Each structure stands twice: as structure tokens, then as C-alpha cells.
Structure 1
Amino acid sequence: MTDKPRTTHVPLNELDEQGRKLHFRSILDSVPDAMIVTDESGVMLAFSRAAEALFGYTQQEMLGQPVNVLMAGRDRANHDNYIGNYMTTGKRQIIGIGRVVMAAKADGTLFPIDLKIGEARIGEHFLFTAFIRDLTEQQRAELRIQEMQSELVHFSRLSAVGTMASALAHELNQPLTAVANYLEASRDLLDSPDPETKEILREALSEAARQAVRAGEIVRKLRSYVSRGEVDMRTVHLRPLLLDAIALSRISRDHADIPVNLELAVADQRVQADPIQVQQVVINLIRNAMDAMDGVDDARIRVRTLSPDEAGFVAIDVCDNGPGLPAEMKEAIFKPFATTKSQGMGLGLSICQTIVEAHGGEIRAITPPEGGTCFRFTLRADTGKT
């Protein structure tokens, strides 16, 4: 009986240089996501097979080239700034964190990618490894879902408006009919000026006034119900909610390459909120900020949370470095039909205010010392107590 051949296992750290190169090459050929290795100056040292398929360049074309040739718009300049800032300050803006950015294929096609970067220090030098995933199909699916949700919401609103209009007509019909009848009777009684007729006239006019007040009360209650709305309050983790809102705000936007930084005062902050409604507030504020910075070269947006205050509320800021709000708009910005956009209806911020106030919070516009505009709204912190 012959013995089976014995397999010798060689630890990775004992491979010779040629072995390590072959091992690294096998990784580049088999890793499913696009993988690119650069030095601290941004020059590409390795370009995986998946990266070739994704971008349409060959490895030979890319080695020695600056990695920013694969970026698009503001992200091209921002990528170098992130690396340079990290090398000088050690502050991480993308390294080890990840970000959704816009990239460019060899044929000029722009597409969104999920970019994650790791670092390795070798002596006095750094190597950065980027892992890249194409988000085109994911964002198309998200956009379609969002469109379907919008269509459903629109249909639901139309149905609700129809039902509300029918109910309003029914409720108002009785007092308004009574007002008309009393006024007609009063008009007829004016032709008989005797004391008894005057007393009947006074009663008819008083009843008409009472029915008019009743009609006004019906409208007031309806307005109160509409402005208050219904809030599905629950415990919500802020970080995933805000990350989703940032991602959704980039879908199908002309300014989707504007970087949006998220800063959390408390990593696992929880609030009491209706997540769908609060996301709508954040998306609206981010999109407003994007529109406000049209033409700003170094445009950037910061979404940050503050620690809970003494009253138990968490503040969320959405800040931009745009030209700021005109002074005359600061007081009126939350009123319906008040807008700084040529094509805007001026309802977005009014709806945001309604949502925030329905949560028991408040929203306001702030001009920070460094310029630009911040919109700050508050939500009640979740303490975990019942």
C-alpha cells in the first residue's frame, strides 16, 4: 500500500517575493469587487480584473496614472483633498469610512459607486486599497421604488382629498343652508316694521350668525386635523435613518456629486419619531441645500446631530456652504408658497415644519459664523424608559 503524497503548508509570511507577487496577482484576478491600490500621491499601483471590467480600462493603461482620472465632477478634486487632508491632519473623511461618489468609465459614462478605502503603512510610506462597487442598478431600483411610493402617496392623497371634500360639503351644507334660509326670512320681515316682527327678525339674524360660527368651527377643526396629521411614533436609530436619507437625496439629482458628511454626537443615538416622515424632512433639506449651491465650486453639505439638551431633545443640522438665505426670507421661509427657487412652489419647508411640530419639535434656519445656511430641527430623544 503506497503512502499518500504529503502536502506542505507554507505560511504567508514565509513566501518569497515571487510567491507573494503571484498570491497578490491571484487576489487581483479573483476579488469580486473592483480593487485598486494607490500610493499616498494617488498614483495607481494595482488594478484588478473586476476594475478592468467595471471601468473599461486595462491594467496596463492604468498603472502609473492618477486615480482621480476615474472620478467625475467634484469628486475628482475632493478625492485628492481627502487623501491630502488625511496625510497632514490624520482626520478621516473617507478612509476607513466609505462614501458614495460619482465615477467615470473609459467611454465617459458617469455612474455612482460605493467606495471603501483601507490603508497600510510600509516604512515611511502609505498604500491605499480601494474597493469599489457599482451602485447603478441599486439606485435604479431605489428610484423606481421611490417613484412607485410617490405614485401611491399621490393616489392616496387624491382619494383622501376626494373623501375630505365630500365630507366637508356634507358637514357645511346644513349650517350654510340654515344661514341662507334665516337671511331670506329676515329680508322678507323687513317689510313689516311692527315690534313683534322686529323680535322675530332679531332671532332670525342671531340664529344665522350662530350657524355661520358653526360652519367656521367645522373648517377650523378640519385645518387642525390636516396640519396635525398622524404620526407613527416609535424608537428609531438615527444613524441608519440619516444614512438612508442621504443616499435617497442623491438619486436622480443634478448635484449628486456634492459630498454630504455625516457627523454624530452620539454614535447610537435613538429618538422617538416616525422614520418615513423624518426621512422626508432630511431629504427635503439636503435637496434644498444642493439647489442652493448651484455654481459653488467647493460645495459641501454637513448633516450632524447634537447631544440631547436638558429638555431631552436631539437637534439635527443640515448645513451648506452656499450664499446663505436673503435677510427678508428668514422670517417667511416656512410659510406656504415662500421660496427662493425660480421653479419652486414653496411648500417643502412648510411641510417639513408641519412634520417636525407634529413630533413635538421645532425647526428653524440658522446663519453660522462661517457663512452658508443651517436648518436645525429637533426630535425627542429616546431614553429607553417607559
Structure 2
Amino acid sequence: MKHNIYLGLLAGCLSLASISCSENQNNLPVTEENNKPEEVNFTVDTLYSALENPWGMVWLEDGRMLVTERKGEILIFENDEYTGNKIQGMPDVYARGQGGLLDIQLHKGWVYIAYAKPMSGGGATTIMRARVDGNSLVDQEELIVTSPASSAGVHFGSRIVFDNEDYLYFSSGERGTKENAQDLTNSHGKIHRINLDGSIPDDNPFVNEPNAITSIWTYGNRNPQGMVYDAENNRIWQHEHGPRGGDELNLVVKGENYGWPLVTFGIDYDGSTITDIQEKEGIKPPVHYWDPSIAPCGMALVTSDKYPGWKGNLLIGALAHQHVARVTLDGTSFGSEERLLQDIGRVRHVAQSTDGYIYVVTESPGLLVKLVPQD
């Protein structure tokens, strides 16, 4: 059942003091001018309210929309309504804790899926691709499996993006073991880059490093659960969970070390200090960070003309604070932030459809909503 709730601008802008520290040289100071919200009025159309733990959204060439559920299901929507059907022929998933069926993307007729694969020793973030024939996955190909497998139920990542040269990038969390992120001999706590068939590009930064995982593009990442490609500027934006404080927005750059756990603005969950270092030579600093944490998950880059005041902005889901953060950018610098959809639920993902509308999925409650602009 659909219903509309008029929201307009659901929240005013936040002061930078509530979301970041002004001492960070990578954050612009917020002034009245650069923190002024763009007026975009919209209604929220609730399309479905029985999701459990949704993760990813994608639109097929025939116009149908697929929504992944972490337990291992893909729900099929058509004309913004749930059809009652699910994709058949799914692989088994390691549905434990934060693991299970994760991101889904479409590229050149193939559906690419990130999921936790059950293996001896636990589960491993895995990328596969397949074609959709009716309601079934066919021609399935496993492209890459991260290693080693782990029994930990946390920090799987994982998002998928493609660049203008048809490389596939995906994120993998450090599986709850901090040291993994700095260790090039394992896949965890990294952004990876592969060819569409799963092979390794010969210009990846660590292909000639002894014993290194050759798919690694960046390292020192904690648990990246949001990633988007800016095709116009040939940039990848990524965000990741910090511990208590220190969630980060990063610009993904080949071969860079993003510092976890050597450098962080957060502290451990028990209140202990992880490190008192926030800057270090050889470490790529975040473009922006959140303290307290918002627990970012999912992200969309607005390119649609349907939201003219938001074009070029990032829309970032917040699990902990249950909103969508609209982040403006000044080139590769942070500009300002506004909270939308406050208290809608734990926002798992934000995506822009092929016809330019913004969709959001949440858990607790499990909603699929569409933001419909109003004149």
C-alpha cells in the first residue's frame, strides 16, 4: 500500500560542531552561506513496509527493480509495487551477523552481486555475476572470493561500482580484526579493483608486491559500506564506519593507505584509546569525518535533474541516527551537511533510479520509500 507524507525539507542544516571537528584541515568551516540548505520540496511515497534487512537496489533494463535482503533473497518490484515474486537460483549465503546478501548492481546486461559466501572457516565477501532471465539468475559466474575466510560476523563491506573504463571496484571490511587493514597479504579492510570477468588488471598498485593480494586498490579501510562513482569527474567516493566516532568520507585514490587502525578520530567501543594520532605521513586523510558516529551505510550521487538543488550532492544513509545526510561538495572538499528523513529508521541504502528518482531502504521499520519532488 502506498501513502504520501508531505515533508518538504525534513530537517535544517547541522552545525559543523555537531558532526565534525573544525580543527580538521580537510573540513571547510561552515558559514551561513555554505551551510544554507537548497530548497527541494518532496513527498515521501512509501512503496513497501515489510522489509527485514534490505541492503541493495538496482533497476533492470526492463524497468523492474530488485531489492536485496541480507538473509539471501532478492525481491522483485514493478511499477513501484512489490510483485510478490523473488529471484530464483540464488547462491547460498553466509547469513551471520552483518553477513549475507549485500550489494547488487547492473552493468552491460550483467547483474553483479556482493555476498558473504559460506566456506570452511566461516564466510568471505565474494563477487559474482549473472544474467536475469524472467525471475531466475542464469549464467552465474563467481568472479573473486576474498581471503582468508573468517568466522567473524562483522565488517564484510561491501559495495560495488564501475568506472568509465569498465573496471569493477568493491569494498571489503576488515572483519573485526584491526590489523587486517594494514596487511597486504589478506583481502580485508581494502578497496579492490578487478576486470569485469574477475581477472586482475596489470596496473593495479600491488601486482608486483611479493605475497600481496593483487586485486587491492587501497588499504587501511575499516568497514566501507558506501561507495559511488562520479562519472563526470572520474572520481570514486567512499565512506566507512569508524569505531566510536571517526566515521569517514574518503576520496578513493590508487594505492593509498587510509590509516586504519594507525590513524583514527574515534575510540574503541569500550572507551579505550586506539591511537592518539589523527594525522601521519603516508596516510590519506578523510575528506570529512563524523564524531559522534552516524554509522553510514549506502550512498547515492545525485545526477538527476528532478532535484535541481541537490545535483552533485551525496546522499548518505545513517544507521545510528536514522536519517539521510545530504552532503554538498566543493570539488573534492566537504562543503556542508543537512539531515533529511530524520527518524525514518535505520537507513541501509540510498539509490537513484534510471529515471532519476531517489529511493531509500530502511530497517526497523523495513521500508522502501521514494522521494517525489514537488513544484
For the criterion TM > 0.5, the same-fold answer is no
> Higher relative contact order at CA 8 Å, sep ≥6: structure 1 or structure 2?
2
User: Which of 1 and 2 has greater Rg?
Assistant: 1
TM-score, normalised to structure 2, is 0.29
